[in-house]
Amino acid sequence: MKISVIQPDIVWEDKDRNLEKIGQMVSELKDTEIVILPEMFTTGFSMNPETLFETPDSGTFDWMIHTSEKGNFGICGSYIVREKDNYFNRWIFVSPDHKSWKYDKRHLFRMSNEEKSYTQGNKRLIFRFRELRICANICYDLRFPVWSRNKNDYDLLINSANWPLSRENVWSILLQARAIENQCFVAGSNRVGTDGAGIKYCGNSMIINPKGVIIAKADEREEGSVSGEISVSELDSFRKKFPVWKDADNFIIVKK
């Protein structure tokens, strides 16, 4: 299966320009089955949800449905959603037949006061798209390995991020660590450029194999996309020969 990661320079808090830009980047992809977008791909990592929120089935969701159907691929990324009186940093995956799955960010980045603006999610998401079982992460989730512990129940870990330049090496190391410890493919989508808060981002979007080897990587500072082939049959063979997951410790995740 071919998967593709988009790496844009997100325009600060401008949904229309971002959807136009990302739409153009997506249209240039060829023969891909999954398209992965960064965290808050319509706005940047904004702490102004009250002015930027969408309802669950509004503009961005409609754009994802249309884009997925037109390209015959799954598409995913996070954006700001309001339900009742709660704002969520919500990751959405949409399929060409209009099915969708959602995940609300569990680990809110307190160093930017994200927990003061958004409501924490408390449920992991693992789902199947075509032959692939997928687990969803958003940015800061990457630092918490128990949350993404693989019990042989997923094949691809996706992390949609706005990861800063100041912690560039941490991004690469943690993505590779998650691939090795979970014996899974990992795809990380990050942005480039500088946001409205003056934070610079490192790019380095990448696709990693279950042995921690980077098989495709985007430029560090430039907009663009990167694609790679992943094989579920090769993954299954590796897990059978080297079944680390059978010796993993059990954890109980407590809701907060």
- How would you write the pLDDT of the chain (256 residues) with one tens digit per residue? 999 999 999 999 999 999 999 999 999 999 999 999 999 999 999 999 999 999 998 999 999 999 999 999 999 999 999 999 999 999 999 999 999 999 999 999 999 999 999 999 999 999 999 999 999 999 999 999 999 999 999 999 999 999 999 999 999 999 999 999 999 999 999 999 999 999 999 999 999 999 999 999 998 889 999 999 999 999 999 999 999 989 988 888 776 6
Residue 254 has what pLDDT? 76
* Distance in angstroms (rounded) separating the CA atoms of residues 131 and 230: 11
Residue 256 has what pLDDT? 62
Residue 253 has what pLDDT? 78
Task: Locate the domains of the chain by residue range.
Answer: 2-247
Class of domain 2-247: alpha beta
> Which residues belong to the active site?
39, 105, 139
Residue 63 has what pLDDT? 98
Record the tokens describing residue 52, joined without a space: 């930027």
Contact by Cβ (8 Å): 157, 178:
yes
For the chain, give percent helix, strand, coil, nearest 5: 30, 30, 40
CB neighbour burial string for 19-51, b if at least 16 within 10 angstroms, e if fewer: bebbeebbeeeeebbbbbbbbbbbbbbbeebee
Q: Which residues contact 99 (CB under 8 A, 6 or more apart)?
A: none
Residue 250 has what pLDDT? 84
Contact by Cβ (8 Å): 42, 82:
no
